[in-house]
């Protein structure tokens, strides 16, 4: 357990001399969702996973903000002695990766982003839709947490995390435009829980302008799985994106 601010994070590190890969989870997910990717990549890499605050085996906190997640990543890297990781982030974790790399351009080897894109529900209508959704789910959230799909937060705290993300994501286009490290996207298909018909596919199209603006960013694959199931059903595509990026980077730094 790693003490950070008012909480403790559950961190796992396979160790070894391989290229350090740090995995960043979805907004309410825990680290076990990466097990298939890690198994596929094997011992050629050093795998570091951790549960964010109130997720998985990590402790609760008074601060579940995006900035707190960035501080947690800093704390994990410092504690594990990793100077320059390759970051692999799914959904919320992908957006954390963009912003951390933007703030620390000399400290990151590259990014693999798994189905995150710079789109969000904004304005009061968007905020109210998110609050309503999590209030409707309030009874199932504790059960979801047991399966690594929810946090040990109230429905309102879940909503606050999602509302903040939906403000940050669409404002991230300039962040993506100026990233200097190589970035590979693995995109899902179709919609997911909480989205309306065609909504997520429309969101993924926003990446077209990012791809046109920044030659460091490429799409490695678009797979059949939806947003929620991509790490379970299409983990080989994520592992392949990591391998391809690692090969392009050359020897371990």
Please check whether residues 83 and 189 belong to one and the same domain.
yes
Give the model confidence (pLDDT) of 229-241 as tens digits.
999 999 999 999 9
Which residues are 40's β-sheet partners?
none
pTM given for the model: 0.93
Q: Range of 145's domain?
A: 120-169
- pLDDT at 72 (0 to 100): 97
Given a contact cutoff of 8 angstroms between Cβ atoms, the answer to whether 108 and 181 are in contact is: yes
Count of domains for the chain = 2
Please check whether residues 111 and 124 belong to one and the same domain.
no
Give the model confidence (pLDDT) of 160-169 as tens digits.
999 999 999 9
What is the domain-level CATH number for residue 191?
3.40.50.1820
Which of 169, 193, 208 represents a domain boundary (last residue)?
Answer: 169
Which of 169, 203, 238 represents a domain boundary (last residue)?
Answer: 169
Would you call 101 exposed, middle or buried from its count of C-beta atoms within 10 A (0-12, 13-18, 19+)? Answer: buried
């Amino acid at each position: 357990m790693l003490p950070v601010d008012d909480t403790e994070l559950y961190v796992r590190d396979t160790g070894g001399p391989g290229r350090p890969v740090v995995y960043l989870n979805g907004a309410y997910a825990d680290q076990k969702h990466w097990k298939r990717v890690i198994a596929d990549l094997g011992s050629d890499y050093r795998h570091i996973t951790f549960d964010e605050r109130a997720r998985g085996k990590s402790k609760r906190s008074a601060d579940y903000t995006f900035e707190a997640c960035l501080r947690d990543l800093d704390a994990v890297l410092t504690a594990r002695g990793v100077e320059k990781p390759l970051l692999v982030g799914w959904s919320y974790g992908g957006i954390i990766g963009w912003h951390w790399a933007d703030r620390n351009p000399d400290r990151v080897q590259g990014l693999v982003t798994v189905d995150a894109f710079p789109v969000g529900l904004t304005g009061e209508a968007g905020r109210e839709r998110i609050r309503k959704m999590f209030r409707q789910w309030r009874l199932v959230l504790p059960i979801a947490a047991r399966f690594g799909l929810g946090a040990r937060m109230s429905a309102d705290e879940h909503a606050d995390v999602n509302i903040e993300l939906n403000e940050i994501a669409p404002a991230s286009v300039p962040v993506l435009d100026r990233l200097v490290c190589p970035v590979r996207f693995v995109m899902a298909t179709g919609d997911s829980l909480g989205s309306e018909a065609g909504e997520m596919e429309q969101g993924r199209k926003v990446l077209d302008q990012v791809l046109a603006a920044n030659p460091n960013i490429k799409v490695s694959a678009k797979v059949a799985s939806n947003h929620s199931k991509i790490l379970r059903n299409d983990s080989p595509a994520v592992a392949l994106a990591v391998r391809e990026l690692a090969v392009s980077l050359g020897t371990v730094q």
